[in-house]
Structures are given as C-alpha cells and as structure tokens.
A and B are shown apart, each in its own frame.
Chain A
C-alpha cells in the first residue's frame, strides 16, 4: 500500500489538482450550506464545466464538492435548523440548541474537528480495504457481476425507508429510462419513437441536472424557502474540555459511520442517527442531549463524514453507487471514460490513488477553512435565493448544452425538471430513480452475459458460489436496515412506556 500512497501523493500534489481540489471543497461547502442547493445538484451542474479537464482533476474537484457539502450542510443545520433530511435532525437538535445559546462557534468547530478526524480514520480504512476488495472482485465472472448488480438494486430498499413501494416504482422507472435507445448487444431501437436524438438513449447528466437542479429550484419556490434564524457567535473558540469530551464520541461515530457507509445503500442516513443514539446511550451527560450537548453534535457529524467517505468503497471497488450523489459521480466517471469497478485499481492506479489522497488534502483544507472561517461562510447565507436560482437555472441549461452539443439536451433538462418537481410533490424518492438509471445498463449486460453463460438458463447463477454469497448479502442488505429500524423503534417504545409507568 505504501507505493500506492506515494503514487497517489505524486498525482494529488500537482499544482492543478491542488487548485481544483481547493475550488471543489469551497464550492461544496457553499453548496451544502445554502438551502435549495445540494451536493447532487452541484455535481450534476458542474460536470459540463469539467469537460476540458483531465479526468483525475475533474473527479478530484467533483469529489471535493461531495464531501465539502457535508461540512456545508453542518453549517446550515447549526445556523438555520433545517433538518432537510433525517440524518441532519441529530445535528440540528444539539447544534442548533448550542447556536441559540451563543455557542454556534463551538458547535461548528467541534463539527469540523469531528468530521476531520472521522475523515482521517475512514480514509485510512478505505485505502486499506478498497484494494483487497477490488483484487478479489477481479475473479468475478458474468454470474458474479450480475449478483453484484442485484445487490446494488436491493440497496434501493434501504433508500426507500418507509416508502418501499414508491422507491421500487422509481427504481423501475429509472431502469426503464435507461433502456431507451439502442442497447449494446442488440440491434433493436427501443422506445425511441422515431427520434434520432433518442437513439443514444436518454442522456444521464442532463437528466441529473433536470432532476436535481431545475426540479429542486422549482420545489424550493413552491415550498417557500427557508428562513434563517439568527444565531450569535459569542464564543468562536472552542474550549479544551469540550474537545476532550467529544473525542470518544468522535471515535465511536467514525467507526459506526464507516461500517454503515461501506454497505451500499442509505447507510449514511442511518449512520448519523445511530451514532447519536449510541452516544446518548453511553454518555455520562445523556440528559443534556437535545439541549446542546456537544457530543450530540460531534458523534453524528463524525458518522456522517465517515459514511460519506466509506460510500466510495462500493463505488470505486465494485461500481455500485453508495448513494444518489455517488451515483451521479459514477455517471461522471463513465463520461470521462473511466469504468469504476474491480478493474479500475488495475488499469488506472494513478487515478484511483490520486483521488483517494486528494480526499485527505481536501479534508485538511476544509478543516483549515471551517475552523476560523465558519462565521464568514455564514454570511453567504445572506445571499437571497431569488438571485441564486436564476443563476442556477442559467448554468444548468448552458451546461446541458455544453455536454450534449444539442438543444435536445436543454429539452431533456426542462422535461426532467418537471419530472423532478412532480416527484417531490408526489412524495416519491429520487435516489432509487438515479440508481435505476445507473445500474440498469449494467444489470442488463449482466443478464445477457449470464444467460449466454447458462445457454438460456439464468439459474446458472446459483452454480457459482461467490455469486450465491453475494445474493445472500443482497438479501441481508435489503432486509437489514428495516430490521434495525424496527428493533430501535421497539426499544424506544419500551423505554417510553417504562418511563411513563
């Protein structure tokens, strides 16, 4: 692993890669912080702008946006109390409580420190674990690849949470969209309705831009936007005892986050909630939780960041996205002609290790930026959304044209903007749709190859032991989170009735 690290450092420390890493994490922080923006949107819109870059540079920047957005989201959760998704609830409760008492600086600082430590731990683990997985995966044949794709699809179950049926519908829709056009291996043009533009299929990045940029913007307008409540920065500096208190929480959170984030699926969401719950359970200060306990910020933040990094394990080593944003990143990989998966470590070691080392560099930059500069970033929250969103729409449309070189791309963005808006209104989750689109072609390839292997009989998959193990794992991943959820629910209810009694 040492030579790989050296290789990675030599790639990541080039002037251009350092600069774009910096730009990526700053952009990511801003994007993660501003309500109405999101990491998926940022990555989708910026893919067209990276067209002229080296693949590794582009990926370094886009990945920087991804984990930078984690830091930015923390700033938003602490300062504006926008628990936009379940994972931010934990940070909001204690972080925002701290902010209202004037300790916003301390909350943000511990979040930054916790995230950084978590990043270090998770990156070291990632580097140690990813290569062996990839090497093992080199032995995969068509049956195993099909099993992996099915595993990727079962993660949809965990993404959908309580909305399982809706999630499956979206996954089906995503796969359906991916079948439009002429499929590799066949000569039939499917569902092109005579359009020449559709022969190549419905373009992925444009759909992402439509769903996550245009759709998000319009939803924000419809729902009315967020109102930041003023938080004061009485103490910017964090006390030593606060750090001492939080260190164990950070470590626990990091390992929980890494463990759950490695599994493709919605592990990240569950990770921060679980970390918060565990911390509350073992902490001596558990009564303070919910009212401004600093461990209540440190643990979920560490878990979030660790999970975000761990998401790269299935993405890079197996080619299965760990989440919606990693799915968009996966699409970006493909556009640059890089196929993530087991072969990536063999064929493109410089790119992979350069990317992984850049994560280190990016997190260092983020720590340096966030510790003193969080209040400065907070001023950016003052930019009114009504100036931001026309700029977002402008960049989305022109970026879409840049990718497709055709006004058709712009129409795709507008149409899927409407689709994205409709999905939000009708309460359908978007992540399964993205996953379906990404995994659909790979699944089809796996099916075609496996049926060729079995001479028409798909059950040949059961004759390959590794594939069977993967399928069992898929079932576990599918059922696992719901079992964990109901167990936690039951325990919470039992505690509630026992305290009431």
Chain B
C-alpha cells in the first residue's frame, strides 16, 4: 500500500533548521583550522565532519519528505498481520470507549484537555520553567522551584489548592532533606538571603 504523504511544513521547517545548523558548523570548523601545519587533525576537523553529516543527512531527509515513499510496516515478524492488527485495534477501541468529550465535542485526553489546550499547556509549562529560572537570582532556588511546583499543580493543571500545597510542601521537604542535610549543597539564596 503506498500512500503519497504531502510535504509536511513542520517536517520541512525542522529539516531546514538542522541543515542550516550543519552548514554553520562546517563554516565554524573551517575557521578553526581543519588540519594543523604538519597535517595532523586540528580543532576544526570534528565540527566540519559533524556539520557535514548533519547537512548531508538533513538534505536526504528533506528529499525523502518531498518525494512520496512506500510506507513500510514496523511490525515485521508477524505472519498473520491481519489478526494482529485486529487485536491491536480492539485494544484501541477499548481505550476509545473510555474517552470523554467536552461540550464542543472535542476529545479530551487523560488530563482533561482538548487538543488546542494541550498546546497552551506546553507553552505554560515552559513559561513556568523559564520564569522560575529567572527568579532564582531574586528569591533563591529553593523558593523559586517550590513556587514552580505550586504554579504547575494549581494553575497549569488546575487542581484543588490543598493537594497543590501538599505537593509543594512534599517537594520542599524532600529537597531540604536530600540537598541541604544529606548532600549539604549550598543553594543560591538570591537577593532575599533566606534558605
């Protein structure tokens, strides 16, 4: 069965990014001296080779995504493919039967999110991580990461406040016991100079 996959913009974009990275690496490698005077391998050799591999392999990926190709099945040792496929589909259907839907008829995942909300969740998590990292220099690592846990459980996952506080406290206790008491690693305290 051969399907002709249309050129996926995400695929092209990501491949182009990696190819440009490869080319940049090759240029950097050439600038760093690929070979030393006596012909020995120099600091630019590896970046050049790595960049070269990335560029060539990336180009191959690009070509492949543009040219329709036969889809090979992953499951190859099973002779009665049809029966196996039926079994797998039955499992999927059981899972489908348990699926829940929201008012708009969009399928909700195990976290209760519709597809669009999933993307927002991802962005929210990264935003929380980045803000937490920035805050370390102001309120210290311990407080900043504990706050991060609370924000994730309470705001991103929208759980009730008591479990959120418990989860946060749990992390704080764990961190205190393991990192301060057992490992005795000094954690940055930021401008507050607290814990």
Q: Which residues of A contact B (CB under 8 A)?
A: 49, 51-52, 81, 86, 89, 92-93, 96-97, 162, 165-166, 168-169, 171-173, 175-176, 179, 183, 186, 188, 190-191, 214, 217-218, 221-227, 229, 273-274, 276-277, 280, 290-291, 385-387, 389-391, 393-395, 397-398, 401-402, 405, 407, 410-411, 414, 417-418, 421-422, 425-428, 436, 440, 443-444, 447-448, 451-452, 455-458, 485, 488-489, 492, 495-496, 499
Contact = CB atoms under 8 A, between A and B. Distances in A.
B133 A414 contact: yes
B133 A224 contact: no
B39 interface: yes
Which 9 pairs, one residue from A and one from B, show the smallest C-beta to C-beta distance? A456-B39, A224-B109, A277-B77, A172-B53, A225-B110, A172-B54, A168-B57, A390-B152, A165-B60
A175 B46 contact: yes
Given A169-B57, A444-B46, A387 B153 contact: yes
B125 A218 contact: yes
A171 B136 CA distance: 34
Nearest to A163: B61
Given A176-B51, A390-B157, A488-B76, 12 more contacts: A165-B57, A166-B57, A175-B53, A179-B46, A190-B43, A191-B28, A218-B122, A229-B91, A387-B159, A397-B132, A444-B46, A451-B41
A488 B77 contact: yes
Contacts of A456: 35, 38-40
B8 to A, nearest CB: 10
B192 interface: no
B148 interface: yes
Contacts of B175: 394, 398
B72 A162 contact: yes
B77 A386 contact: no
Nearest to A83: B88
B54 A452 contact: no
B91 A81 contact: yes
A222 B121 contact: yes
Contacts of A417: 126, 129
Contacts of B129: 214, 393, 397, 414, 417
Contacts of B22: 169, 172
B53 A393 contact: no
A218 B182 contact: no
Interface of B: 10-11, 14, 18, 21-22, 25, 28, 32-33, 35, 38-43, 45-47, 49-54, 56-58, 60-61, 64, 72-81, 83-84, 87-88, 91, 94-95, 98-99, 109-111, 113, 118-119, 121-122, 125-126, 129-130, 132-133, 136-137, 141, 145-146, 148-149, 152-153, 157, 159, 163, 167, 170-171, 174-175, 178-179, 182-183, 185, 187-188
A221 B122 contact: yes
B167 A173 contact: no
11 contacts: A52-B182, A169-B58, A173-B18, A175-B46, A218-B125, A224-B109, A386-B157, A387-B159, A387-B163, A394-B148, A426-B10
Contacts of B25: 176
B110 A226 contact: yes
B84 A447 contact: no
B118 to A, nearest CB: 5
Nearest to A389: B152
A273 B77 contact: yes
A169 B18 contact: yes
A216 to B, nearest CB: 12
A186 B91 contact: no
Given A387-B153, A457-B39, A222 B119 contact: yes
B110 A224 contact: yes
A176 to B, nearest CB: 4
A179 B126 contact: no
A162 B69 CA distance: 12
Nearest to A449: B41
Given A162-B72, A451-B41, A190 B32 contact: yes
Nearest to B133: A410
Contacts of B148: 390, 393-394, 397
The listed residue with most B CB atoms (<10 A of its CB), out of A92, A389, A394, A414, is A394
Contacts of A421: 122
A225 B47 CA distance: 38
The listed residue with most A CB atoms (<10 A of its CB), out of B41, B132, B148, is B41
B58 A411 contact: no
Nearest to A423: B14
A97 B88 CA distance: 10
B118 A222 contact: yes
B57 A225 contact: no
Nearest to B82: A496
B46 A385 contact: no
Contact of B149 (A165, A390, A455): A390
Nearest to B152: A390
Contacts of B76: 273, 485, 488-489, 492
Contacts of A411: 133
Nearest to A495: B79
A229 B88 CA distance: 14
A426 B171 CA distance: 33
Contacts of B35: 456
A77 to B, nearest CB: 11
Contacts of A179: 46-47, 50
A189 B109 CA distance: 47
A186 B43 contact: yes
Given A274-B77, A448-B41, A495-B79, A291 B53 contact: no
A190 B27 CA distance: 12
Contacts of A273: 76-77
A269 B182 CA distance: 39
A492 B77 CA distance: 6
Contacts of B91: 81, 92, 96, 229
